[in-house]
Structure 1
Amino acid sequence: MQLKKYTDYALRVLIFTGLKSEHELANIKEIGAVFDISPHHLGKVVHELTKLDLLESVRGRNGGIRLAHPPEEINVGMVVRQMEGDFHLLECFESGTDHCVISPACTLKYTVNKALHAFFKVLEQYTLKDLIENEAELRQLMDKK
Structure 2
Amino acid sequence: MQLTSFTDYGLRALIYLATLPQGELASITKVTEIYGVSRNHMVKIINKLGQLGYVETVRGKNGGIRLGMPADQIVLGDVVRAIEPLQIVNCSEEFCHITPACRLKGILFSARQAFLDELDNHTLSEMIEDNPPLRVLLDQPAQ
TM-score normalised by the shorter chain: which range applies? over 0.9
CA contact (8 A) 1:57 1:64 kept: yes
Comparing 134-143 with 113-122, greater Cα deviation is found at: 134-143
Equivalent residue number for residue 108 of structure 1: 104
The TM-score with structure 1 as length reference comes to: 0.91
Deviations 1:25-79 (A, max 9, x none): 1111111111101111110100000000111111111110111111000010010
Deviations 1:68-91 (A, max 9, x none): 11100001001001111x322122
CA contact (8 A) 1:19 1:135 kept: no
1:98: how far off? 4.4
Gap change, CA 1:134 and 1:35, over 3 Å in 2: farther
Aligned partners of 2:90, 2:55: CA distance in 1, in Å?
A: 34
Alignment of 1:131-142 (within 5 A): 131-142=127-138
Aligned partners of 1:118, 1:3: CA distance in 2, in Å?
A: 15
1:143 partner letter = D
Q: Secondary structure at the match of 2:47?
A: helix
CA contact (8 A) 1:27 1:64 kept: yes
Equivalent residue number for residue 83 of structure 1: 83
Asked if 1:8 corresponds to 2:16, the answer is no
Structure 2 portions without partners, runs of 5+: none
The root-mean-square deviation of aligned C-alpha atoms, in Å, is 1.3
1:99 partner letter = C
Percentage identity across paired residues of the two chains: 39
Task: Report how many aligned residue pairs link the two structures.
Answer: 141
Q: Once superposed, which parts of structure 1, at least 4 consecutive aligned residues long, lie more than 4 Å away?
A: none
Equivalent residue number for residue 27 of structure 1: 27
CA contact (8 A) 1:91 1:97 kept: no
Equivalent residue number for residue 42 of structure 1: 42
The TM-score with structure 2 as length reference comes to: 0.92
Equivalent residue number for residue 121 of structure 2: 125
Aligned partners of 2:76, 2:59: CA distance in 1, in Å?
A: 27
